[in-house]
Structures are given as structure tokens and as C-alpha cells.
Amino acid sequence: MPEVKLVDLSELEPVGMVRADAGLQQRKSADTRVTILEAAIDCLADLGYARTTNRLIAKQAKVSRGAMLHHYATRQDLIESVIDYAFYCHMEEFGRAIRGLSDQERKSDNSGIALDWELFLSRPHKAYLELTMAARTDEELRAIFVPKAQRHDRIWCDQLLAVFPEWSNDLELLNRSRRVVTAMMSGMILNRDIWNDAGMEQTLLQFLADILIKLREGDLTFAAPPPPAPKKRAKVG
């Protein structure tokens, strides 16, 4: 089994974050940034992207307009940091939670699915999902969000390998399996208020956990992708 190195989360921290051994002024500045980012997540989760303004975020964070502009001169600067911060929070908590599981809970029970679902329901992920949806129709946001989300997608795969080493023998299988998890949980989130069915929610999570075990053990496989459609030949004359 190949050796897997745990992702260094310090490499993923949004611009302006500092370590605990930094100087007092640096720590105060970083604390203010975190306060602003947390306020932005709250606004995105509660109000949506279109209604989230720098003025509202400053009010939620209880910081002056000047302090806000000192740390984030433009809305774009702030949104870029929020995207990274929301992902960073999700991934940090996910890694910590999975590493707290026993081998039995992680491999046989696949308890990571329940933990991942809890994080899908968290405010950072709710904000991230709001940005995902808004980026579909907002070209300015899309230009910022998509490259970052693509990078996060690659990092997420590395993080999964670090906490689920039993998948390391087949990286393509892991990649496809995590997309199944993301697709199903995202759909569950979007329909949660409509369905309003906690029992079915748990049934689907258990179904997902069982599917992943079968995929990992080779009892279930993905169908081969269809061959590319032949290109149509241009008509002459």
C-alpha cells in the first residue's frame, strides 16, 4: 500500500491567517479576519449570496466599516477568502472526526458517512453550497469560485486518502466513490426541507454507507464509461 501523507492544513488557510506563535499584532489582525469570515458565513447561510453585502457582514461581525475595508478592500477580496475559509473549516473538522474513529468504525461500520453528513449540515458548508449555486448564474462569482473549487476538489481527494488508507490501492475508485457521496448528499441537502423525512434521510445515509463498503470490497463496480460518440462528418457541397 503506498504511503499517504496527510494534507498540511496550514497550506489551505485563507490569506491573513497566522500561527499561534505569531506576534500580538499579527494575532489580533488574524482574529479580526476570522471574525469577519465567520460573519460572512452566517450571512451567506441565512440570507444567500445576493443579499450578502459588505455592510451587512461588518454589522454581523461588529466591526467598523474602516476595519472591514482595511482587511478586505473589495467584495471580491472577501468572497475569495470566504470560499477558502469555508472549505478549510469543513476539511479540518472532517479530518479530525475521522481520525477519532476506531478501525472498526471507519472500515466495517463506515461511520464516516454519518460524520460527513453532519458537516454537510454545518454553516460553513451551507455557505459553500450557497456560493456553488450562485456561481451558476453570476459570472463574476463563477470566475472566482470555480478555480478555487476545482483546487479544493483535488485537495479533498488527498485528504480522503490520508484518513482512509484502505482505499489507497485504487485511487480512481476512491475518486468516483467520493463523487457519489457528494452528489447524493448535495441532493439531500437541497431537498431536505421539501422531503421533511428524517427516517428516509437515515435510510439513504445507511444505503450510501453500504454502497461504499461494497465498492471498496469489490462486490460492486462502476460500469465502464461509454465510448465517445463519433464526430459527424461535415457535408461537402
17 is a domain residue: no
Sign of the torsion formed by the C-alpha atoms of 90, 154, 21 and 62: negative
34 lies in some domain: no
Which DSSP letter does residue 235 get?
Answer: P
* Nearest alpha-carbon partner for 82 in 137, 46, 35: 35
Mean pLDDT of 101-130: 93
Total number of domains in the chain: 1
Q: Which three cell numbers stand for residue 192?
A: 431536505
Rounded to whole angstroms, the Cα distance separating 104 from 95 reads: 17
Percent of the chain exceeding pLDDT 90 equals 57
Average pLDDT of the residues in 12-17: 57
The domain containing residue 152 runs over which residues? 75-217
**Position 195 pLDDT exceeds 70:** yes
Q: Which residues lie closer than 8 Å to 89 by C-beta, 6 or more apart?
A: 122, 124
pLDDT of 25-59, one tens digit each? Answer: 667 878 888 999 999 999 999 999 999 998 999 99
- In a domain? residue 43: no
Cβ-contact 1, 165 below 8 angstroms = yes
- For residue 174, is it within any domain? yes
Q: If you average pLDDT over residues 200-205, what whole number do you get?
A: 95
Residue 24 counted as domain residue: no
Q: How far apart are CA 126 and CA 134, in angstroms?
A: 12
Residue 230 lies in a domain: no
Q: Indicate if the pLDDT at residue 139 is higher than 70.
A: yes
Report which DSSP code applies to 74.
S
Please tell me the distance from the alpha carbon of residue 8 to that of residue 208, in angstroms, as a whole number: 29
Residue 5 lies in a domain: no
Max CA distance (Å), the chain: 76
Would residue 19 count as lying in a domain?
no
Mean pLDDT of 205-217: 94
pLDDT band of 162, cuts 50, 70, 90: confident
The pTM (predicted TM-score) of the whole model is 0.84
